Amino acid sequence: MANHITAEKVDFEWIISKRVIDECLTAYFSVGKSKWCATFYPHGICKASDEGLVTIAISLDKSPSKIMAAPELRIINHLFPEKAAIRQTNPSVFLIKPFAPPRKCEFNNIIHLNELLEKSNGFFIDDTLKIAINLNVQMESAVDFMRTNFILNQKKLFDSGEYSDCILVCPDGEVKAIKFLLSSQSDVFRTMFQSYTKEAHTGRVEISDTSVSVIIKVVEFTLTGRVESFADVVEELFIAADKYNIVDLRNICMLELCETITIHNLSKRCLIAERYQLEHFSRQQFDEWIVVKVQANVSCKFFEVSCGEGNGNPLNETSYRERYRMPYAQAVRKQGVMERTIKDRYRPSVIVILLDSTSHSSAVRRLPRSLKFLKEQLDLTIFDGYAKVGLNSNPNGIAFLTGRMKEPPFGKNSDAGSNDDAQQQSIWHEYKKRGFVTFFSEDDIINLTFDQFQSAPTDHYMGPFWTHMNSIQAWPHAPHRIALTYLSQLLKIYQNNPLFAVLWISSLSHDQSNDLDDSFFLDFFQKSKDLLKNSFLIFMGDHGMRFGELRSSVPGLINA
């Protein structure tokens, strides 16, 4: 990002005579130091396919630097001003490149030429057509595009590794960094280095879900305020910027995601846009979707759909090119659990839905409609005065699932034992012995309450599914929605059997607490109301938000 940006605006009025109603070009007009022109295509750019629908293109002809512009076009209606033909575009990056054609923005299929020419419609008055072009332009100073000695010296210092005071440890290597620079761009890193954490003490940050090449880009951005040559890693870089709340880098990646859509990356970027709620992406224009209906009966709980082109076997990369790959999950009744279940005794199900890093006050603020429904329709009881027993998820999770303390209230950490020990002593193991069907899911494989189990701890366990999804970076929907949908399916197929379920949702709330998807939770509770009649529903958190601006405030300190 440039350090100096100037904003310019121009209103250009274009008069076209009816006598020359053919392809025509405006004179050049200036916006700041940039030069523009517009072209009128009365029959469309492609006369054969556009079928007389008018197209107008606005082109950047000259600019000393990269600019961002949001053109607006209005074909004036003299008789009915409110019926003016108006088209707008989202802000787009325009960049003049050597030997490249001018960058242009096309307004396609604005209005049919016959409708435009009809006098009674009010567009042509006295045989002239009036078009208003409005341009809002943000232009980066040419000086900012030069690599000054300051930036070069900063880069050399980074490459040498001198004065670094922390190390970011990735699966495929390590990157040296400077705490001050990381903290200046990311409140996540700032809180991490300010708190009594392992990272603050050792200066080593374990990052198990991001490659070295991406973390280098992150560190370079904190150093120079720029990011270059990142097209190949833009998806992973966007996810990292979002995770560590580096706002400027996130916005740069978001623009790149929208500007470089191709048939090869469309499906993956649509999924990223849905998971991270990118409204800017949703406003992009695409061709019509092709609906493919496939008759298939899938009986396994986890499966994957692949779509591509080629005549060969999808497993043969030489003859088949994959365009789409997506894992899916569905609840399937498990053989054998019916024999274990005792049907003739009153055994209500116990359903635990836990939102990571969500305090009671945060839930009241962020889930108002869901909590209102639970109070009015499901007789919700609030347990006031209950507090956490440890710093983060691990000690709190082990305490309420096993009855053991991961660490004593005072003193050093105690030996909590292995995961397999935790499985045998966990509450779901006790429920299983009493005939319950058991379920456990934790959708964040990076910040696990328990490390990966050697074997499934419950009858239904989603751990392998989340691991696979994370490895291929593909999500059919947001993880918490997948998990809640899976739980609702379990409630249906085990309506007549007691179910003990623990659904630990981290991906939604661990890194931020602003949006807890209140509407989706409300919909889940409304649809599950009848299925929960013979159940105890426990809706809870493990602790409050532990980093970010909220954590630095007094209320945030209390809620953590």
Same fold, 5-144 and 341-559: no
Question: pTM of the full predicted structure?
Answer: 0.52
The CATH superfamily assigned to 147-282 is Potassium Channel Kv1.1; Chain A (3.30.710.10)
CA distance 240 to 251: 12
Residues, the chain: 560
Q: Beta-carbon neighbour count of residue 283 at 10 Å?
A: 10
Q: What is the CATH number of domain 341-559?
A: 3.40.720.10
Q: What is the DSSP letter of 243?
A: H
CA distance 401 to 354: 12
Distances in whole angstroms, Cα of residue 304 to Cα of each of 113, 263, 326, 502: 49, 20, 6, 25
What tens-digit pLDDT sequence spans the chain (560 residues)?
Answer: 333 445 555 666 777 665 556 677 777 778 777 788 888 888 777 655 566 788 888 888 776 666 777 778 888 888 887 777 666 555 555 554 443 445 677 777 788 888 888 888 888 877 778 888 887 777 655 444 444 556 667 777 777 777 788 999 999 999 999 898 898 888 888 878 876 777 888 889 988 888 999 999 999 888 878 887 888 899 999 999 988 888 889 888 888 887 788 777 777 787 787 777 776 666 565 556 666 666 677 778 888 777 776 665 555 555 566 666 778 888 888 877 877 766 556 789 999 999 888 888 878 878 888 989 999 998 888 887 777 777 777 777 777 787 777 666 554 454 444 455 555 677 888 888 888 999 998 887 655 566 667 778 889 998 888 888 777 766 667 788 889 999 999 999 998 889 999 998 887 876 665 567 888 889 999 999 999 988 999 998 877 766 655 555 555 555 65
Cβ within 8 Å of residue 326, ≥6 positions away: 267, 271, 304, 305, 306, 474, 476
Is 5-144 assigned to CATH 2.60.210.10?
yes
> What are the domain boundaries of the chain?
5-144, 147-282, 292-330, 341-559
Gyration radius (Cα) of the chain, Å: 29
**In this structure, are strands 302-309 and 321-329 parallel, antiparallel, or unpaired?**
antiparallel
